[in-house]
Structure 1
Amino acid sequence: MKEQQGSPDQLPADKGQGETGAIYKLVIFESENFCGTKVELSAECEDVPEKTRVGSVIVESGPWVGFERPGFAGEQFVLEKGEYPRWSTWTNCHHSYRLSSFRPLKMVSIINHKLHLFENAGFEGRKMEIGGDDVPSLCAHGFHGRVASAKAISGVWVGYMYPGYRGSQFVFERGDFRHWNDWGAAAPQIQSVRRVKDMHWHKKGCYVAPTPTTPNPKPSPNPKPLTHPQS
């Protein structure tokens, strides 16, 4: 890492192929734990049927990105290969409980991932170069949260509003993003980033959020009664 100063029910499979010919497949279920009516997707879907509620998801091959609103708009949720039995398994940002459109993320087999982040719009101000590693906290590297433009040089990345891969998600596919609106954000805030992986090239497959290392404190068996100060 470097810092520097800078200025339908079944969609046709052939349209779901990645750049290397990989076939994409995602199954959405009406209820949690893969129950109820299911719909299979193998290509982008701009608007799931109006009454279709997405309670759980299985990504058989991917990765994909789901959106809160039709037409690939609203909150974004990255879905890598694996099972998502309920809402909390694909996000910890509960602004919305609806997924209304999906599209596959086009992946290529590469060794080196590279992403450039800029403090100001138009690729101006301080610059941070990220290559090959996930970054759970930009602040830990002296880059304090403000990201107003970006260049995804290689690979697919997802940025998060808060450290530890928490909060709203923003996808960076290869290309230039001159302004934070270009990646669907309402403010220039990103505090952690990671690479999007696919089982085709990464045997571990789906990203799994780390579990807390500190257990929840146990309540006292003999709590003391509350006392109120004398008036």
Structure 2
Amino acid sequence: MLPSIAVAASPWCPRCSGKASASPATALSVAAITSLRTPLLLDDGTVMTSMESADDAEDPKEDAPEPRRQIIFYEDRNFQGRSHESSSDCSELNSYFSRCNSIRVENGNWMIYERPNYTGQQYFVKRGEYPDCQHWSGLSDSIRSCRLIPQHHGSFRIRIYEREDFRGQVMEFTEDCPHVNEEFNYHDIHSCNVLEGHWIFFEQPNYRGRQYYLKTGEYRRFTDWGAMNARVGSFRRISDLY
């Protein structure tokens, strides 16, 4: 609703229709009022302040830029020694450092790998500080590749199968599962289909042991997610936002 605006009216005249009329100097259309940008002094001393047009009010604001994803590797413990920063996937880290004993994640969710080309032991790290390899459950100081996990804002769905090639008993999950055997009645998962989101398989219950990153897609056998056997004790969603 537009604010009321005082305008100076002409004196009443018997020869007119009996209605007061606005003088030409103060007769303003609605369009002129809504497009006004600077204060205006009317004949009767009233000051009209600037107003924002409807077009300006409806203009969408530009999306704020997303924060930069960054992970920093250090050769020595407690963030000492030579370091290397990465902001995207890297299949070969050998040329940047010879060992890794501490990590600082400035932003993002990452999988780090014991060997080049995203192979070997896998470890999930998120924003935070890891002063030694035990803080990411590492077994050695060898980190040779890293992968940035895309952020997922939607729902999560995964189907697990008793046998390879999506055969045998099947169950669908939308939440974390700390004990696969209790829910699925099997200790092993031989194939799976990740329908939505990003997940991590753990070799042991309660999210312990070897880790395996799974993005959306089909996994016809356990070797497709980098495992040496079909044992999966638990799994969880990667739902950490950044």
TM over 0.5: yes
Q: Against the structure 1 CA distance between its residues 21 and 153, is the aligned structure 2 distance closer, same or farther, given a 3 Å change threshold?
A: farther
**Matched positions, count:** 177
Structure 1 residue runs of 4+, over 6 Å off? none
Letter of the 1:52 partner, please give it. Answer: S
Q: Which residue of 2 aligns with 1:47?
A: 92
C-alpha distance in 1 between matches for 2:237 and 2:67: 19
Q: Cα deviation per residue 1:2-31 (whole Å; 9 max; x = unaligned)? A: xxxxxxxxxxxxxxxxxx966321111111
Q: Which residue of 2 aligns with 1:134?
A: 176
Letter of the 1:176 partner, please give it. Answer: E
Confirm or deny: 8 A CA contact 1:27 1:41 kept in the other structure: yes
Q: Which residue of 1 aligns with 2:18?
A: none
Confirm or deny: 8 A CA contact 2:112 2:145 kept in the other structure: yes
2:102 to 52, 56, 61: 56
Q: Which residue of 1 aligns with 2:61?
A: none
- Structure 2: gaps (5+ residues): 1-64
Is the counterpart of residue 65 in structure 1 residue 65 in structure 2? no
How do residues 105-120 of structure 1 correspond to structure 2 at under 5 angstroms? Answer: 105-110=149-154, 112-120=155-163
1:193 to 220, 223, 235: 235
Q: Which residue of 1 aligns with 2:186?
A: 144
CA RMSD of aligned residues (A): 1.7
Deviation at 1:49, TM superposition (A): 3.0
C-alpha distance in 1 between matches for 2:120 and 2:88: 19
C-alpha distance in 1 between matches for 2:150 and 2:172: 22
C-alpha distance in 1 between matches for 2:206 and 2:223: 23
Give the 3-state SS of the residue equivalent to 1:54 in structure 2.
coil
Q: Which residue of 2 aligns with 1:90?
A: 136
Confirm or deny: 8 A CA contact 2:152 2:198 kept in the other structure: no
TM-score (norm 1): 0.72
Give the 3-state SS of the residue equivalent to 2:223 in structure 1.
helix
2:80 to 27, 35, 45: 35
Give the 3-state SS of the residue equivalent to 1:58 in structure 2.
strand
Q: Cα deviation per residue 1:99-155 (whole Å; 9 max; x = unaligned)? A: 111111122211x21111111110111112110x21111112143211010111111
Letter of the 1:64 partner, please give it. Answer: W
Q: Against the structure 1 CA distance between its residues 185 and 45, is the aligned structure 2 distance closer, same or farther, given a 3 Å change threshold?
A: same
Q: Which has the higher contact order (CA 8 A, sep 6+)?
A: 1
C-alpha distance in 2 between matches for 1:183 and 1:22: 29
